[in-house]
Structure 1
């Protein structure tokens, strides 16, 4: 990767404009992988923005998503295609950060061009897989409201979706850190990549259960109909808040599946050498905050209300960061913290 300080400054400027919270988290990563992870985040966020721009029709969004994905399959960037994406989508952005990201898409791709061939190849792989989840959203869920509600059919379909949108990131992360951090050279990349996939799936399942009501009212039910059938429920039944008691056994099953994945994520984290404390912290924080979120999801009496926004409060975020910064190098103490938290998730 280019070590040009101007390029680094440009990337960090874009990240701060698009997501200051992600930028602050990114800074905990060690040098050598920080910029690649940051730029990859921006590309993933851009793809997601294209897919979510609901002021243009789905066929157009699919067209521009595929046009963007194509920039990672050829030797040279098609700058005319990039400008076509910008012209079509920038006027329709409700979120200023999304608009800024699309405006600066050319800057991001120029930074990408300056990376090593090996890093470009890793990013190309990520961008060949991750947009499949966004394409799945656009094709599997044809509507934008609860009146056009559609659902995934099986647990296998849900598993595939969580791989596309997050599991593949765990695989990409593993490949990148093993390539750049000498102390990671002893890792079995294939084995740890598979565990990294579980890590990502756990985080995505956490997002799915916490946002279930909001997604339902946007026409998307990620809870498979095969599970709902077992409880005598239809996707539309989840629009009624009084059906939460009937839904709760299914919810608990999904929470349990998320926890199984996150347990594997913890194994992954504790396998990181102690001297790579920055990497450890970058993995500990999302796992522990996912646990805090699942704890709140499991206890929420109004989970099916679209007005509810379930997340760990800022005070908890600060507490997690403070405790792990002090104890993250001690595997026994850190694991005791995780075990204590997971026991609170009923």
Structure 2
């Protein structure tokens, strides 16, 4: 990859404009992969922005999503196609950060062209797989409101979805760090990629259960119908907050599935050499915070209220960061914390 300071500064300028919080989190990563991860985040978010621009119809969104994805399937960027995406979508952005990202999409792709062949190949792989989840949202869920609510059909379909939108990121992360860190080069990439996939799936399942009410009101039920049927429920029943007690056995099953994936992610984290403190922190934080979030989801009395945002409070975030940083990502201290969360969330 290019080590041109101007290239580095351009990327970080875009990141700060698009997501200050992600930019600050990015700084914990090892320098050797920081820029690649940052640029990949921008590409993933751009694809998500295209898919979520609900002021244009689904057919157009799908067209432009595939048009964007096509840029990673060739050795030459189609600049006219990118300019078309910008011209159509920028006027419809409600969020200034999304608008800025689309405006600077050409800059991002020019930076991508400066990367090594290996890094481009890894990003190409990610951008071939990740948009499948966005395409699934556009095609599997035809409506955009509670009146057009649609549910996934099977647990396998849910598993496939979580792979597309997050599991593949764990695989991508593993491939990238193994390529750039001499310590990580000793890893069995295939084995650790499989563990990384489960890590990502656990994080996505956490997002699904905590955001369930808002997704339902946007026409999307990620809880497979057979699970609901076992509890005597239909997808539309989850729009009634009074059905939360009846839904709790299904919710608990999804939490257990998320925790099983996250526990595999914890084993992944502890396999990172102790000398790689930054990488350990970058893995410990999302797992511990996912556990803290699931702890709150488990007992939330208003989980089916779309106005309520169930998440770990800022004080908890700071505590997790302080404990892990001050102990230099010590596995005994952090694992004791994780085991306490597992005990709380263990199946009754």
Q: Over residues 150-208 of structure 1, what are the superposed CA-to-partner deviations in whole Å (9 max), with x where a residue is unaligned?
A: 01000000000000000000000000000000001110000000000000000000000
Would the alpha carbon gap of residues 219 and 176 (structure 1) be closer, same or farther in structure 2, given more than 3 Å must change? same
Q: What secondary structure does 2:94 align onto?
A: coil
Q: Over residues 213-236 of structure 1, what are the superposed CA-to-partner deviations in whole Å (9 max), with x where a residue is unaligned?
A: 000000000000010111111000
Q: Is the counterpart of residue 133 in structure 1 residue 152 in structure 2?
A: no
**Equivalent residue number for residue 187 of structure 1:** 187
Query: Which TM-score applies when normalising by structure 1?
Result: 0.99
8 Å Cα contact 2:213/2:303 also seen in 1: yes
Q: Is the counterpart of residue 96 in structure 1 residue 96 in structure 2?
A: yes
**Equivalent residue number for residue 261 of structure 1:** 261
Q: Is the counterpart of residue 61 in structure 1 residue 61 in structure 2?
A: yes
**Equivalent residue number for residue 227 of structure 1:** 227
Query: How far does residue 14 in structure 1 lie from its aligned partner after superposition?
Result: 0.6
Quote the Cα distance in structure 1 between the aligned partners of 2:230 and 2:258: 20
Quote the Cα distance in structure 2 between the aligned partners of 1:11 and 1:344: 41
Q: Is the counterpart of residue 86 in structure 1 residue 83 in structure 2?
A: no
Structure 1 unaligned residues grouped into runs of 5+: none
Structure 2 unaligned residues grouped into runs of 5+: none
- Paired positions, count: 346
**Equivalent residue number for residue 25 of structure 1:** 25
Query: How far does residue 328 in structure 1 lie from its aligned partner after superposition?
Result: 4.1
8 Å Cα contact 1:144/1:218 also seen in 2: yes
8 Å Cα contact 1:328/1:334 also seen in 2: no
Quote the Cα distance in structure 2 between the aligned partners of 1:213 and 1:149: 12
Quote the Cα distance in structure 1 between the aligned partners of 2:129 and 2:154: 21
**Equivalent residue number for residue 304 of structure 2:** 304
Q: Over residues 53-97 of structure 1, what are the superposed CA-to-partner deviations in whole Å (9 max), with x where a residue is unaligned?
A: 000000000000000000000010000000000001000000110
**Equivalent residue number for residue 285 of structure 1:** 285
Q: Over residues 307-326 of structure 1, what are the superposed CA-to-partner deviations in whole Å (9 max), with x where a residue is unaligned?
A: 11011111111111010002
CA RMSD of aligned residues (A): 0.7
Q: What secondary structure does 1:274 align onto?
A: coil
Quote the Cα distance in structure 2 between the aligned partners of 1:275 and 1:229: 49
Query: How far does residue 329 in structure 1 lie from its aligned partner after superposition?
Result: 3.6
Query: How far does residue 345 in structure 1 lie from its aligned partner after superposition?
Result: 2.5
Quote the Cα distance in structure 2 between the aligned partners of 1:157 and 1:234: 17
After the TM superposition, list the runs of 4 or more consecutive aligned residues in structure 1 that deviate by more than 3 angstroms.
Answer: none
Q: Is the counterpart of residue 106 in structure 1 residue 118 in structure 2?
A: no
